[in-house]
Amino acid sequence: MADDDSLAPPEAIEIVDEAERTDEWTDEMPGVDRVISVALTTEQPRTADWIAERAAVSPTTARSHLERLVDLHILSAVEQRGAKTYYPDAAYQRFKEVSQLIEEHTRSEIETMTVTAKEDIEELGETYGVESADELRKLATADDTSSREAREYFKKASEWDSHSHMVSIAEEALERYEKFSDHYRPSVDSAV
């Protein structure tokens, strides 16, 4: 078979009729999970209507799920230009990530992850001659930067953010390990 015979034809790639889009994820994921998935991945606080459309639920259903998620501190809500908007609750997200790290990794693994993330940050800094992800994003928007270069800088800044985030979560996890071990370790005095 010639190579090209096993490729998909152009008409299979282009979706001309939007009606062809399937809403099949509604079969696989319950509405509340779809609302969580959309609400936890937004780039800025969003209204219930905005989230409802992307989660394939009615605005009323979205609002009711979102309010429940605010009650559970999974989301926070803020008024923006007269509309109520929702975004991931920082304290909850952080607590969850630190807890997950402790549950899934030993102390020495977390230490290694911290070191690796710091090395990755150093290497990015050296490669691009900058000291922070924000500085890299500034380079991206500089006048003499091509759109292709800008995309590369934004991408690397995003990777940088992930490494920084890992360092900050890991350091908190290590602190928590510290506290737990202090708490559970019998003191020398009490052992006498």
Partner 1 sequence: MSLGDLLADGGSDPIGVSGRRGRIFEQLRINLNHHPATETVVVRPTRDQRDRKLVAHFDTQILVDGLVDADEARLEINWWTHPVGIDDQFKFHYLESSGYDCGWHRQPHPAESDIPFDHFQQRASPESDYHYQGVDFLEDAPVGLLWEVTRTRLPRIVRARYDPNTDV
Q: Does 28 bind partner 1 (CB under 8 A)?
A: yes
Q: Which listed residue (165, 175, 178, 180) binds partner 1 by CB under 8 A?
A: 165
Considering the complex, state which of residue 148 and residue 185 has its C-beta at the smaller distance from partner 1: 148
Q: Does 71 bind partner 1 (CB under 8 A)?
A: no
CB of 61 to partner 1, least distance (A): 17
Q: Which string of x and - marks every residue 96-135 that binds partner 1 (by CB under 8 A)?
A: -x----------------------x--x--------xxx-
**Measured distance CA(146)–CA(149) in Å, rounded:** 5
Q: Which region among 39-47, 57-65, 66-74, 183-191 touches partner 1 (by CB under 8 A)?
A: 39-47
Q: Which listed residue (162, 174, 176, 177) binds partner 1 by CB under 8 A?
A: 162
* Residue 175 tokens, joined: 């602190």
Q: Does 155 bind partner 1 (CB under 8 A)?
A: yes
**Measured distance CA(42)–CA(20) in Å, rounded:** 25
Q: Which region among 58-66, 107-115, 152-160, 182-190 touches partner 1 (by CB under 8 A)?
A: 152-160
CB of 179 to partner 1, least distance (A): 21
DSSP output for the chain: --GGGGSPPHHHH----GGG---THHHHS-HHHHHHHHHTT-SS-EEHHHHHHHHTS-HHHHHHHHHHHHHTTSEEEEEETTEEEEEE-HHHHHHHHHHHHHHHS-HHHHHHHHHHHHHHHHHHHHHHT-SSHHHHHHHHTSTT--HHHHHHHHHHHHHHHHHHHHHHHHHHHHHHHHHHHHHHSPPHHHH-
**Measured distance CA(6)–CA(2) in Å, rounded:** 7
Contacting positions for partner 1 (CB under 8 A):
3-15, 18, 20-22, 24-25, 28-29, 33-34, 36-38, 40-45, 54, 76, 78, 80, 87-88, 90-91, 93-94, 97, 120, 123, 132-134, 137, 147-148, 151-152, 154-155, 157-162, 164-165, 168-169
